[in-house]
Amino acid sequence: MSTLTYREALNQALAEEMERDPDVFLMGEEVGLYNGAYKVSKGLLDRFGEKRIVDTPITELGFTGLGVGAAMLGLRPVIEFMTFNFSILAMDQVFNSAAKVHYMTAGKYKCPIVFRGPTGAALQLSAQHSQALESSYAHFPGLKIATPATPADAKGLLKAAIRDDDPVVIMEGELLYNMKGEVPDVEDHVVPLGVAEVKREGSDVSIITHGKMVHVALQAATALEKDGVNAEVLDLRSLRPLDVDAILATVQKTNRVVYVEEGWPYVGIGSQIVDTIQEEAFDYLDAPILRVTQADVPMPYAKMLERMAKPSAERVVAACNRVLYRQTV
C-alpha cells in the first residue's frame, strides 16, 4: 500500500492509462501549462506533451463536443471540467450526443469518453459554484456515473472509466483532493464500475451514500458507536450502473436505512434508492427510510446559512436515531 492524496491517485490513473494506451488524451481548461486548476494533471504536460494534454479555450460546449466526435473515431478522450458547475454549459453534448451515440446508431459507433472534475460545495462559493449534479447526470440512460470517495477508489474507478467503451462521468469531491488514503500498490489497480463497497461494517442501521458524503457518514457512524449503535456505511461508488444487490444486502442485514447525499432532495439520487428498496425489500424494513440532503435551495454564501444547507454528521446521526426509534426530540 502507498499513501496518496486523492489528487495524486487521479493523477496516477491518468498517467498510467496514457502510458498504456496512446489513444487516451486529456483535454480541458488549464490542464496543461497550469497543471490543472486542482492540480490533478500536474506534470502530465511535461510527460506526454501538448498533443495529448490539451489546453482549451474557455468553451465547455465546444471542447466537450470535440471529445465526443473524437471518441466516435476511436480515440479515448478524458474531458476535464474545471468544475461540474461549468459542465452545465456542455450538457447538450453530454446528454444529447455522448449518451445517445451508441443507441441512435444501433451500435455502429461507440463513445468511449470520460468526463471528470470536481463536484459539490467547497466553502462559501455560493450558488453557482456549489452544486452536486449527480442526479442530473444519472438521469440519462447511456451514461455511467461514478463518484469516488477515497484515493483508492479515485484511482481505480478512473482507470476503469478510461477503459470503458461507454461515456463515463467521474464526479470527484471538490473538498477531497487533499485527502490522503491507502492505495494498493498492485500494478493495475482497477475498481469496476457498478460495484458498491461496505466502507464500515455494522448491524443496526445502514447509511447508504456516495462520494464526499461517505466521510460524513463515517463520522456519523463513529459518533453513533459511542452511543452504542453499530452503523453500516455502504458506499455506492457508482450511481449508474447501480449495485442493487449490495443495497438489498445491507437492508436485509440492518432493516433500517438512512440515505445521505450532497445534492438536492427533490428528484435526487435518494429518491431512486428509496424506490428501489421499497419495491424490492419492503418486507425487510423496520422503519421508514430517511434522507439527509442539501436543503432545497440554491447554496447561500453566508457561513451559517451554508452550514445549515449542507448535510452534516449531526443530521445523519439524528436521522439514524429516528429510524432506530431512539429519537428523543
Partner 1 sequence: MAQTKAARKTSQAGGSSNGRDAGARKGDALLGLKKDELHAMLYQMLLGRRFEEKSAEAYAIGKIGGFCHLYIGQEAVAVGSIMALRPEDYVITAYRDHVQAMVKGITPNAVMAELYGRVDGCAGGKGGSMHLYGAEQNFLGGWGIVGGQVPLAVGAGFAIKYREQDNVVLCYMGEAAVNQGAFHESLNMAALWKLPVIFIVENNRFGMGTAWERASSLYDISQKASAYDMPSAVADGMDVIDMRRVTQEAIDRARKDGTPTLIEARCYRFMGHSMSDPVHGVYRTKEEVEEQKQKDPITRFLELLKDNNQLTDEELKTMDAEIQKVCEEAAEFADNSPEPGLEDLYTHVYASEDVHGRLFFDRKNRLEQG
Identify residue 9 by its one-letter amino acid code: A
Can residue 240 be called a binding residue for partner 1 (CB under 8 A)? yes
Question: Per-residue string for binding with partner 1, 174-203, x by CB under 8 A?
Answer: ------------------xxxxx-------
Task: Please indicate whether residue 129 is annotated as part of the active site.
Answer: yes
Task: Please indicate whether residue 50 is annotated as part of the active site.
Answer: no
CB burial readout 32-70, b (16+ within 10 A) else e: beebbbbbbbbebbeebeeebbbbbeeebeebbbbbbeb
> Which one of 32-40, 62-70, 149-157, 312-320 is the stretch in contact with partner 1 (CB under 8 A)?
62-70
Q: Catalytic residue, from 8, 16, 29, 60: name it.
A: 60
**Number of CB atoms found within 10 A of residue 101's CB:** 22
> Which one of 6-14, 128-136, 145-153, 234-242 is the stretch in contact with partner 1 (CB under 8 A)?
234-242
β-strand partners of 3: 182
Strands 168-173 and 257-260, by their bridges, are unpaired
Among 15, 39, 91, 142, binds partner 1 (CB under 8 A): 142
If the CB atoms of residues 27 and 40 are measured against partner 1, the closer one turns out to be: 27
> Which one of 6-14, 127-135, 151-159, 240-248 is the stretch in contact with partner 1 (CB under 8 A)?
240-248
Can residue 37 be called a binding residue for partner 1 (CB under 8 A)? no
The C-alpha cell at 296 is: 432545497
- Minimum Å gap between C-beta 23 and partner 1 is 8
Pairwise CA distance, residues 157 & 9, whole Å: 10
Least Cα distance to 176 among 197, 153, 150 occurs for 150
Answer whether 256's CB lies under 8 Å from 324's CB.
yes
Can residue 244 be called a binding residue for partner 1 (CB under 8 A)? yes
Which residue in this structure is represented by grid cell 459511542? 226
> Which one of 2-10, 170-178, 216-224, 238-246 is the stretch in contact with partner 1 (CB under 8 A)?
238-246
Residues 6+ positions from 37 with CB-CB distance below 8 Å: 29, 30, 82, 83
The C-alpha cell at 53 is: 494534454
CA 111 to chain centre: 20
- Minimum Å gap between C-beta 239 and partner 1 is 10
E strand or H helix at 4: strand 2-5
Among 28, 32, 36, 65, binds partner 1 (CB under 8 A): 65
Binding-site size, partner 1 (CB under 8 A)? 56
Among 21, 46, 92, 201, binds partner 1 (CB under 8 A): 92
Residues that bind partner 1 in the complex, under the rule CB under 8 A: 25, 51, 56-57, 59, 61-75, 77, 92-93, 96-97, 102-112, 141-142, 144, 164-166, 192-196, 238, 240-245, 272, 276
Known catalytic residues are 60, 129
